[in-house]
Chains A and B, each alone.
Chain A
Amino acid sequence: MPYFHKVLVANRGEIARRVIRTCRRLGIRAVAVYSEADRALPFVREADEAVLIGPPPAAQSYMAIEKILDAAEATGAEAIHPGYGFLAENPAFARRCAERGLVFIGPRPEVIEAMGSKLAARQLMQRAGVPVIPGWDEPLPTLAEAQRVAAALGYPLLLKASAGGGGIGMHLVSSSEELGRAFDSARERAQRYFGDGTLYFERLVPGARHIEVQVARDGQGTGVHFFERECSIQRRHQKVIEETPSPFLDAERRAALCDAALRGAEAIDYTDVGTIEFVFDQAGQFYFLEMNTRLQVEHPITEETTGIDLVELQLRIAAGLPLGLAQGGIRQEGHAIECRVYAEDPQTFLPSPGTITRLELPEGARYEFGYEEGNTVTPYYDPLIGKVITRGATRSEAIERMIEVLRGMRIEGIKTNLPLLLAICQDTSFQFGRYDTTFLSRPRSGQ
């Protein structure tokens, strides 16, 4: 018995393809929705049905809630998979799905809402006994109040938007003067981007590492984790390379971290697959950073090392079925690495839209690409064009394979970060597993 007969995928590019693939494997009919900019992309062709929902700007297509719901109704889809980004963490969308009799493949709207407010999430996690980054758990209403609080906490501090996340809407302030310059614009931007200008403080964790835990919980209250993913290689607070297991964790720390993540998921009665992000300080203490209540971009490395199809698990949980997994039966084998291929200048990190005139992906890796040769990368959506995932029995084997496939890849017509990805994989510090979130802002060895 399939979990659903027909599922609409409310996303685009590589993640739409990824979800469609699992649906088709399970005998579920997949419906794609697409904007005028994406007509020629493979996800549109690979779905069983595809519905054009609007012009290129996301607000008029992939973010247009009623158009997507109309498409689901017109095609007879029973459930909607939101992928990541766009409407994936939008509680209003999850509510509207339910109101129109559709299953939203994700957690309950209240849970999305609670984790979407970074301040509320901090408070909930603290109550569940999960450590949070020291900071100030009240909104900062005025600059004067912010300056008073900052003086008490001590600089440097991160001024963060409560409705932000993923490093967006974040300012590092090192003095009262810097805070004075940043405050109004930070609030204005948070209001404009997230519809909520609430700001709060977190202490800066110097030389931090980002390590996250993949969890899953079903509607019956059974929860499991699928170990961690190490995500410290970042540019502009966006992940570039992820790997699992993390080269920094010993068995004891790994167990404590995964246990904290499960405790957090249980405290909010989470249902779906989800990811709890933590930062580690240099002393090895970890703190809750945020929870992503959806499938994560870097989920394939977990799949490669545990043998679990996380999209299938989402469908299963959304259909109301028990996980069918016990923690003791989940094992991690080998090592996996993912490189994110961005359409951007490898030096300036500035976006580089254009037509892909040549795309060659050598054998030896798992590829999750949203584009094919001849497709155009438009400026309307994010710069991720695809992901390369390699695995090996050991970390060095996985890195070696990655270097080999990156060397053989050919992407022409647009600028990509391939040279940067290769340089990172060949970097001695990276190969020894000695890196943190400041890695890409430092001069690298071997260059």
Chain B
Amino acid sequence: MAVDAERGGTVGAMEITSSMSGIVARVLVEPGTPVQAGDTVVVLESMKMEIAVVAEQGGVVKEVRVHEGDFVEEGAPLVVLDAHRAES
């Protein structure tokens, strides 16, 4: 997951990217959906395997870049979050 420090302060836009090449099987969020760290946002399917793509940080979904049935490459952006500041 890549962090895009577009904004400072308490929130930043964060891209959740695809961990493998495959087909988008299910999109579980839409713009405005609040998510917590660990929530599944997209389920990818490739070669009979399903992989859940999870948010590593909590936030609010700003943009969904894919549709069910789309083919995505490894590393492709799937969802953009307005992330809460990382707890660390």
Residues of A that sit less than 8 Å from B by CB: 343-345, 350-354, 379-383
Chain A contact residues, majority secondary structure: loop
Select from chain B the residue with minimum beta-carbon distance to A414. B21
Q: Give the chain A neighbours of B45 by CB distance below 8 A.
A: 379
Contact residues in B for A354 (Cβ distance below 8 Å): 21
Residues of B within 8 A of A381 (CB): 47-48
- Per-residue A-contact encoding for B36-49, CB less than 8 Å = 1, 0 else: 00000000011111
Contacts of B51 in A (CB 8 A): 350
Residues of B with C-beta under 8 A to A353: 21-22, 46-47
CB-defined contacts of A343 to chain B, threshold 8 Å: 47
Question: Are B48 and A382 within 8 A (Cβ)?
Answer: yes
Told that A350-B46, A350-B51, A352-B74 touch, could you supply 6 new A-B pairs with CB distance under 8 A?
A344-B47, A350-B20, A353-B22, A353-B46, A353-B47, A379-B46
Residue ID in chain A nearest B45 by CB atoms: A379
Chain B interface (Cβ < 8 Å from any Cβ of A):
19-23, 45-49, 51, 71, 74
| Minimal Cβ-Cβ distance residue in B for A379 | B46
Neighbouring A residues of B71 by C-beta, 8 Å: 379
Most buried by B among A344, A351, A381, A383: A351
A151 CB to nearest B CB, Å: 30
A-B contacts, 22 of them at CB < 8 A, read A343-B47, A344-B47, A345-B20, A350-B19, A351-B20, A351-B47, A352-B21, A353-B22, A353-B47, A354-B21, A379-B21, A379-B22, A379-B23, A379-B46, A379-B47, A379-B71, A380-B47, A381-B47, A382-B47, A382-B48, A383-B48, A383-B49
Q: Which of B45, B46, B74 counts the most chain A CB atoms within 10 A?
A: B46
The CA of A368 and the CA of B59, in the complex, are separated in Å by: 49
Which chain B residues lie closer than 8 Å to A380 at the CB level? 23, 47
Q: Give the 8 A-B CB pairs with smallest separation, nearest first.
A: A351-B46, A351-B47, A379-B46, A383-B47, A350-B20, A379-B22, A353-B21, A382-B48
A352 to B20, CA, bound (A): 7
A379 and B19 CA atoms in complex are apart in Å by 14
CA distance A351 to B45 in the complex (A): 9
Expressed in whole angstroms, the minimum distance between the Cβ of A443 and any Cβ of chain B is 23
Tell me which residues across on chain B come within 8 A of A344, comparing CB atoms: 47
